[in-house]
Structure 1
Amino acid sequence: MQTTILYIGRDTEITVVMNRLLNARPEWKGVCVCTDEEAISICEEQEIDLVLLGNGIDPDAEKRLRARLLEIRPDVKIIQHYGGGSGLLYGEIMIALG
């Protein structure tokens, strides 16, 4: 069974890289977006196991986004991912999914 991971970031280039990294592993399905509206729509339409919040999301927007995502999917885990190598990303995801 695949784990669906939603990445939300503001930088298009980083979002492209995250999409490649998340979808490189057969056990993961990565969905990567740059806007809160896209993220909310995806959460409403798909089962999401984990949300990664990337760089560029200001604190007020993050607070609103977390609240809305948890309203839609109360059991979803939300963590921050600010970069680093693919090994760090893998470790963060495995710990979050624990």
Structure 2
Amino acid sequence: MQTTILYIGRDTEITAVMNRLLNARPEWKGICICSDDEAISICKEQQVDLVLLGNGIDAECEKALRSKLTGIKPGLKIIQHYGGGSGLLYGEVMSAL
């Protein structure tokens, strides 16, 4: 069974890298986007197991996103991901799950 991970970031190049890293593991399905509205829509329509908040999301946006996403899916795990290698990403994801 795949774990669906939604990555929300502001930098399109980093978002593309995250898409590659998340989807490189067969046990993960990565959905990587730059839009808060799209994130909300995805959470309403799909099963999401974990949300990673990436670079460029300011504190106010983060607070609003957390509120909206957990309003849709109470108990949804949301963590910040600031970058680093794929080993760090794996550790963050596994710790959150």
**1:75 maps to amino acid:** G
Q: What CA RMSD, in Å, does the superposition of the two structures yield over aligned residues?
A: 0.4
- Tell me what 2:80 maps to: 80
Moved over 4 A (4+): none
- Tell me what 2:18 maps to: 18
Partner SS, residue 5 of structure 2: strand
- Tell me what 1:39 maps to: 39
Instruction: State how far apart, in whole Å, the 2-side matches of 1:31 and 1:73 are.
Output: 17
Instruction: State how far apart, in whole Å, the 2-side matches of 1:74 and 1:67 are.
Output: 10
Partner SS, residue 51 of structure 1: strand
Identity %, equivalent residues: 78
Q: Identify unmatched segments of 5+ residues in structure 1.
A: none
**1:12 shift after superposition:** 0.1
- Tell me what 1:64 maps to: 64
Partner SS, residue 71 of structure 2: helix
**1:96 shift after superposition:** 0.3
**1:75 shift after superposition:** 1.9
**1:90 maps to amino acid:** Y
Instruction: State how far apart, in whole Å, the 2-side matches of 1:53 and 1:71 are.
Output: 17
Count of residues in Structure 1 that have an aligned counterpart in Structure 2: 97
- Tell me what 1:92 maps to: 92
Instruction: State how far apart, in whole Å, the 1-side matches of 2:41 and 2:13 are.
Output: 21
TM-score of the superposed pair, with normalisation by structure 1: 0.98
Partner SS, residue 82 of structure 1: coil
**2:82 maps to amino acid:** Y
**1:45 shift after superposition:** 0.4
Instruction: State how far apart, in whole Å, the 1-side matches of 2:74 and 2:13 are.
Output: 30
**1:76 shift after superposition:** 1.0
**1:29 shift after superposition:** 0.2
Partner SS, residue 78 of structure 2: strand
